[in-house]
Amino acid sequence: MTILRTFRTLFAAGLILFVAGVAMAQDRPRVVAVNYPLQYFAERLLGDAAEVVFPVPADVDPSFWRPSISDVSMIQSADLILLNGAGFAAWVDRVSLPRSKLVNTSDAIEEQFIVTESMTHSHGDGGEHSHEALASYTWLDPTLATSQADAIAAAIVSRGLASQDQVDARLEILREDFQALDTQAATALGALEGTDIIATHPRYQYLARRYDLTIASLEWEAGAMPTDAEIADLQALVDETGARILLWEADPPDAAFEITAALGLKNVVFAPLAHGVEGHSYFESFTDALSEMAEAGVP
């Protein structure tokens, strides 16, 4: 009898907790981020105060994602939409989003953007006009990432998603982490000054500028086996630059590593973190990549 009563009490308590949990989950504000770093920074700053969503599927490049109508509807209903700026996620120009919820986290660092290419053309009798492209992976420079985190913190407070005190305290810790990462990167990559590096994709412009690295870029598909033509291009680039390190966005097939190693290159997988790495945070992934690069730089 006593056991039954205890069971009932426990069941009732569990039910109340479950209902409360469901209600809380429904009541929590929602923040949408256009890439993993922004999602991570927002989660660090918000704690449990809001749900932070990064809606791009893992197998899709967030820069070129095409949201469906239901995706757009979900994003429109968010309380805050975090944009990276610098031309990242061009899809935001092709959908309707409420301006009152948008925050461009790189507004304050526009002066520091890197212009990567320009293209000029004309339409009919119209005058010529140019397209300018910007390097987008701003978060690979910890100092720029700090500014982006500052912008997120300000947006969270101004929209009342968390208290000023809590956000300030969390931002302080986050800033310390960025500072530590910057110091670690400067130490790890300092030895690579003067060493030519080739990247399989042009993702590392801000990293290169911050730490005085010389990185030439190819246009290989992430994680794919390079074609013979691509290997020939790589060979030509190695001959031209004398590069010793090859940066990969994602792990390619083992055979690819063997081919590039045969060209005298040390392979380093440096995830550019537009998507998170399973089981690793932004800082952990960044730190791991730095260690790999430093190791590769040892003759």
Partner 1 sequence: MNALYLAFAYLRYHWARSLVLTLVAALILFVPVATQILLSTSERALVARGDATPLLLGSRGSQLDLTMAALYFSDERPDPVPMHEVETIWDSGLGIPIPVHTAFSSSGFRIVGTTLDYFDFRDLTASEGRGLSMLGDAVIGADVAETLGKGVGDTLVSSPENLFDLDGVYPLEMPIVGILAPSNSPDDQAIFVDIKTAWVIQGIGHGHEDVVTAAEVAAGSEAVANAAVVQYQRITDENIESFHFHGNQDDFPASAVIVVPNDTRSGTILKGRYLDSENPTQLIEPAGVIQGLVDRIFRIRSLLDVVTTIIAVAALAAIGLAIFLSYRLRAREIATAVKLGARRGMVLRLLSAETITLLSLSGIIAGLGAAIVSRNADAWVSWLLALGS
Positions in the binding site for partner 1 (CB under 8 A)? 64, 66, 69, 72-73, 76, 90, 93-100, 116-126, 128-131, 158, 202, 217-219
Q: Which is nearer to partner 1, 239 or 295 (CB)?
A: 239
Q: How many residues does the chain have?
A: 299
In the complex, least distance from residue 36 CB atom to partner 1, rounded to whole angstroms: 22
Complex with partner 1: residue 69 or 262, whichever CB lies closer: 69
Q: Report in angstroms how near the CB of residue 235 gets to partner 1 at its nearest.
A: 15
C-beta of 135: minimal distance to partner 1 in Å?
Answer: 11
Nearer to partner 1, 174 or 207 (CB): 207
Query: At closest approach, how far in Å is the CB of 239 from partner 1?
Result: 16
Comparing CA positions, the residue from 90, 97, 14, 61 lying closest to residue 275 is 61
**Closer to partner 1 at the Cβ: 5 or 131?**
131
Q: Which residue has the tokens 């009563």?
A: 5
The least CB distance from residue 24 to partner 1, in Å, is 26
Q: Which is nearer to partner 1, 103 or 294 (CB)?
A: 103
Cβ of residue 229: shortest distance to partner 1, in angstroms?
Answer: 11
| Contact status, residue 97 vs residue 79, Cβ threshold 8 Å | no
If you search the block for the tokens 């550019």, which residue do you land on? Answer: 272
CB-wise, 34 or 188, nearer to partner 1? 34
Beta carbons within 10 angstroms of residue 106's beta carbon: 23
Edge-first strand order for the sheet with 30-33 is: 51-53, 30-33, 80-83, 102-104
What is the DSSP pairing of strand 214-217 with strand 196-199? parallel
Report the candidate in 193, 215, 231, 249 with the shortest Cα–Cα distance to residue 116: 215
What is the distance, to the nearest Å, from the Cα of residue 86 to the centroid of all Cα atoms in its chain?
Answer: 13
Q: Which residues have a Cβ under 8 Å from the Cβ of 281 and sit 6 or more positions away? A: 40
Q: Would you say 201 or 210 has its CB closer to partner 1?
A: 201
Angle at CA 285, nearest 5°, toward 173 and 290?
Answer: 100
* Minimum separation from the CB atom of position 39 to partner 1 (A): 22
- DSSP for 37-76 reads HHHHHHHHHHTTSSEEE--S-TTS-GGG----HHHHHHHH
CB-nearer residue toward partner 1: 2 or 118: 118
- CA angle, 66 as apex, 253 and 206 as ends, to 5°? 60
Helix (H, G, I), strand (E, B) or coil at 197: strand
Single-letter amino acid code for the residue at 237: L
Taking the complex as a whole, the smallest distance from the CB of residue 137 to partner 1 amounts, in Å, to 15
